[in-house]
A = this chain, B = another copy of it.
Amino acid sequence: MPKVTVHRKAHFNSAHRLYRKDWSDEKNFEVFSKCSNPNFHGHNYELIVSLTGVIDKETGYVYDLGILSNLIKIHVEESFDHKNLNIEVEEFKNLNPTAENIAVVIYDKLRKHLPNYLELEITLYETPRNFVTYAG
């Protein structure tokens, strides 16, 4: 039975720095350059959440995008938007908030609220020029 992927865009604006606690500021700068600025910088993150599954014969939906939009609001936007990822988001207390790691964290947060029969993919734009994709 052929599958369709439905995609929903969202966004959040956050401060962060690339940083490992167990490294000195010098070592952090050596590896992460200006992205490790101890005073933080920030981004308008643009997020695409993609769900793959068969079309429900009754509704014509793979998944109700209004419900998906609400899940993104509750589990991603409310935790990340207008926040400092390093300081205020539990998951990054000991995890470097690279775009890669943020995408994995978003995947893990949403995965548990979505039906098992749907495949999930996360696309996260850190800037219009740098972005990542993660599908578990």
Contact, CB under 8 Å: B7 / A101: no
Q: Per-residue 0/1 for A2-13: is the Cβ within 8 Å of any B Cβ (1 yes, 0 no)? A: 111111111101
Interface size class, chain A: 35 or more
List chain B residues, Cβ under 8 A from A5. 132-134
Contact, CB under 8 Å: B131 / A84: no
- The answer to whether the Cβ of A99 comes within 8 Å of any Cβ in the partner chain is yes
Give residues 49-100 of A contacting B (CB, 8 Å): 50, 55, 58-62, 65-66, 81-84, 87-88, 95-100
- The answer to whether the Cβ of A43 comes within 8 Å of any Cβ in the partner chain is yes
Q: Which of B42, B99, B127 contacts A41 (CB 8 A)?
A: B42
Contact, CB under 8 Å: B129 / A8: yes
- The answer to whether the Cβ of A110 comes within 8 Å of any Cβ in the partner chain is no
**Given A31-B59, A37-B82, A37-B84, A99-B6 contact (CB < 8 Å):** yes
Q: Which of B15, B97, B128, B135 contacts A40 (CB 8 A)?
A: B15
Complex A-B: 26 CB contacts under 8 Å: A2-B135, A3-B134, A4-B103, A4-B104, A4-B132, A8-B129, A9-B129, A13-B41, A13-B42, A13-B127, A20-B58, A33-B66, A34-B81, A37-B82, A39-B84, A39-B88, A40-B42, A41-B83, A44-B127, A55-B98, A55-B104, A60-B95, A60-B96, A60-B98, A60-B101, A61-B98
